């Protein structure tokens, strides 16, 4: 990998209420209610750039999503003119630390990584490995936004296994005074440092030169980088050849891997259960949600595919032990056996495509990052929530190294970086 320093664009804490009030989660995990909360938290919240709405004066523009992109570009330029966002004086790599508080189910988590401008390359090069498929519509949306704003507004999350050199620089750097420190509403503490010393940058460069990365979060934005790189390939030394990323050495700081759940908006739970026939073992498991998920975890310990279904009514059904003949008939044979038996593979190939005949589109399938949100959404829409068990990172990496991608939205790596702590403006070089 080649990770380059850049002049970070950061909020001036004297020009905003608090740094926490201008940050946001990544664009694709911000639901409509959370979006409104962020917009009202501070008039300069970064969500106004990553999920822009056209202002009233845009009413005369063409009624398409380009008006949102132009509005984001105008906001970004205005905030820089006003000094709300200011560029750091010299290029740097940034050490980013997150300290996530303990919960009833998980211990405290400390994560540290490097934010920089990574050289963009396709999967055929084998340096940056995707592990999930992407959907054309979100890619086109992100392309339009970045093309218009000419900025990387939020870093992708990538993992790698280093040899210790870069991690050593991180550990030394965090002993100094950070550029910023803030705590977001979820209790996570964030700190950021700049690395500008030539010797430290050289040590990081040597370590990363022997590594390749796995895309943990941000497949659609990486596809955006690739498309925009192709659009600007006629430019020498193009800033479009690099993209903003957070690199985490999981040999030192393992990430949490969670499942992404589905809600089938137009499939009621009774119909979903009825269409299963005799091909699956189906049994009701006691609630509440935490107990149902524990039953799923116990089933997964014994191997085989398993899901929990609910209509959001407090009743849960454990789906397991599909007939091998059904899997043999419905799951493609052109990929490794490990891929063929992934829950996400079986869900899409066997259940969604063949058993339930659910169209693959946003009007029919919703993707939720927490089981509780999926349960609420099923109750709200009268549909069916399909709850999954997370995949181990080792499985994800092993398949990616074979060039095999998983069905989209198969995993949720975290903690995800907060958006708004450091941006990359391509105009700054």
Residues 172 and 305 in one domain: no
**Residues 130, 407 contacting (CB under 8 angstroms):** no
* Arithmetic mean of pLDDT, 121-142: 92
Whichever domain contains 140, its CATH number is 3.90.1530.10
User: Tokens 């992109």 correspond to what residue?
Assistant: 69
pLDDT for 411 equals 85
pLDDT for 59 equals 47
Res. 294: pLDDT tops 60: yes
Which residue range forms the structural domain that includes residue 177? 3-256+414-425
In angstroms, the CA 346 to CA 344 distance is 6
User: Tokens 């596809």 correspond to what residue?
Assistant: 223
- How do strand 151-152 and strand 424-425 relate by DSSP bridges? antiparallel
pLDDT for 65 equals 54
Instruction: Give the number of C-alpha atoms closer than 13 A to the C-alpha of residue 284, restricted to the C-beta side.
Output: 9
Residues 402 and 420 in one domain: no
Residue 181 sits at φ, ψ, to 5 deg, of: -150, 130
Nearest to 372 by CA among 294, 263, 289: 289
**Residues 132, 409 contacting (CB under 8 angstroms):** yes
Instruction: Give the number of C-alpha atoms closer than 13 A to the C-alpha of residue 139, restricted to the C-beta side.
Output: 14
Q: What is the number of other CB atoms lying within 10 angstroms of the CB of residue 124?
A: 7
Q: Give the ranges where 15-58 is alpha helix by DSSP (H).
A: 19-22, 32-41, 47-50
Percent of the chain with pLDDT over 70: 97
pLDDT for 397 equals 87
Residues 160 and 287 in one domain: no
Total domains present in the chain: 2
Range in 63-72, 221-230, 358-367, 386-395 the model is least confident about: 63-72
The DSSP H or E segment spanning 169 is helix 165-173
SS3 content of the chain, % helix, strand, coil (to 5): 35, 25, 40
- How do strand 316-320 and strand 256-258 relate by DSSP bridges? unpaired
Cis omega (within 30 of 0) for bond into 288: yes
pLDDT for 189 equals 97
* Arithmetic mean of pLDDT, 186-215: 96
Percent of the chain with pLDDT over 90: 80
Residues 308 and 371 in one domain: yes
**Residues 349, 331 contacting (CB under 8 angstroms):** yes
Residues 209 and 282 in one domain: no
CA separation, residue 412 to residues 231, 276, 343 (Å): 30, 28, 14
pLDDT for 62 equals 53
Res. 60: pLDDT tops 90: no
Task: Write the Ramachandran bin of 107: left for phi over 0, alpha for psi from -120 to 50, otherwise beta.
Answer: beta
* Arithmetic mean of pLDDT, 26-51: 93
pLDDT for 206 equals 96
**Global pTM value:** 0.85
Q: Give the ranges where 51-135 is alpha helix by DSSP (H).
A: 66-81
Res. 11: pLDDT tops 50: yes
The pLDDT mean for the chain works out to: 93
The alpha carbon of 281 is separated from its chain's Cα centroid by a whole number of angstroms, namely: 33
* Arithmetic mean of pLDDT, 119-131: 93
Greater confidence (132 vs 145) lies with: 145
Residues 18 and 131 in one domain: yes
Residues 117 and 24 in one domain: yes
Res. 44: pLDDT tops 50: yes
In angstroms, the CA 151 to CA 163 distance is 31
pLDDT for 64 equals 54
The alpha carbon of 360 is separated from its chain's Cα centroid by a whole number of angstroms, namely: 20
User: Tokens 């430019």 correspond to what residue?
Assistant: 235
Res. 270: pLDDT tops 80: yes
pLDDT for 405 equals 86
Given pLDDT bands bounded at 50, 70 and 90, which one contains residue 89? very high
pLDDT for 56 equals 59
* Arithmetic mean of pLDDT, 116-144: 93
Res. 58: pLDDT tops 50: no
The DSSP H or E segment spanning 245 is strand 242-249
Strands (E), 32-188: 85-87, 93-100, 109-119, 128-129, 151-152, 156-160, 180-183
Residues 169 and 89 in one domain: yes
Residues 229 and 368 in one domain: no
Res. 387: pLDDT tops 90: yes
Cα-Cα-Cα-Cα dihedral sign, residues 35, 134, 367, 114: negative
Residues 282 and 142 in one domain: no
Given pLDDT bands bounded at 50, 70 and 90, which one contains residue 280? very high
**Residues 382, 268 contacting (CB under 8 angstroms):** yes
Distinct helix (H) and strand (E) counts, the chain: 15, 21
User: Under 8 Å CB-to-CB from 59, ≥6 apart: which residues?
Assistant: none
Residues 168 and 132 in one domain: yes
Q: Interhelix angle for 198-208 vs 165-173, to 10°?
A: 140
Residues 237 and 369 in one domain: no
Res. 386: pLDDT tops 90: yes
């Amino acid at each position: 990998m080649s990770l380059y320093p850049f002049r970070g664009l950061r909020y001036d804490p004297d020009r905003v209420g608090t740094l926490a009030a201008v940050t946001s989660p990544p664009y694709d995990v911000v639901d409509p209610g959370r979006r409104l909360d962020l917009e009202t938290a501070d008039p300069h919240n970064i969500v106004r750039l990553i999920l822009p709405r056209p202002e009233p004066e845009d009413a005369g523009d063409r009624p398409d999503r380009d008006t949102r992109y132009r509005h984001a570009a105008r906001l970004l330029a205005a905030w820089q003119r006003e000094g709300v966002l200011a560029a750091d004086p010299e290029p740097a790599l940034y050490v980013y630390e997150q300290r996530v508080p303990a919960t009833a189910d998980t211990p405290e988590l400390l994560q540290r990584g490097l934010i920089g401008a990574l050289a963009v390359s396709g999967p055929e090069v084998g340096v940056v490995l995707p592990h999930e498929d992407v959907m054309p519509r979100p890619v086109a949306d992100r392309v339009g936004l970045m093309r218009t704003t000419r900025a990387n507004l939020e870093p992708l999350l990538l993992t790698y296994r280093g040899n210790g050199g870069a991690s050593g620089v991180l550990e030394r750097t965090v002993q100094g005074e950070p550029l910023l420190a803030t705590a977001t509403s979820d209790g996570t503490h964030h700190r950021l440092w700049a690395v500008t010393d030539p010797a430290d940058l050289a040590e990081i460069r040597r370590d990363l030169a022997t590594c390749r990365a796995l895309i943990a979060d941000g497949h659609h934005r990486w596809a955006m980088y690739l498309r925009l790189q192709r659009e600007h390939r006629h430019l020498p030394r193009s800033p479009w050849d690099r993209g903003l990323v957070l690199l985490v050495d999981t040999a030192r700081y393992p990430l949490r891997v969670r499942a992404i759940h589905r809600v089938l908006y137009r499939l009621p739970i009774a119909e979903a259960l009825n269409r299963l026939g005799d091909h699956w073992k189906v049994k009701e498991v006691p609630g509440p949600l935490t107990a149902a998920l524990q039953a799923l975890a116990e089933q997964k310990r014994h191997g085989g595919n398993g899901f929990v279904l609910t209509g959001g009514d407090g009743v849960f059904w454990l789906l397991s032990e599909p007939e091998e003949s059904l899997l043999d008939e419905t799951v493609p044979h052109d990929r490794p056996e490990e891929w063929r038996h992934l829950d996400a593979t079986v869900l899409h190939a066997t259940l969604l495509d063949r058993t339930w005949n659910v169209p693959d589109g946003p009007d029919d399938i919703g993707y939720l990052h927490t089981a509780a949100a999926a349960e609420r959404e099923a109750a709200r829409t009268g549909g069916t929530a399909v709850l999954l068990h997370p995949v181990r990172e080792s499985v994800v990496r092993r398949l990616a190294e074979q060039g095999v991608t998983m069905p989209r939205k198969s995993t949720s790596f975290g903690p995800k970086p907060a958006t708004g702590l450091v941006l990359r403006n391509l105009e700054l070089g």
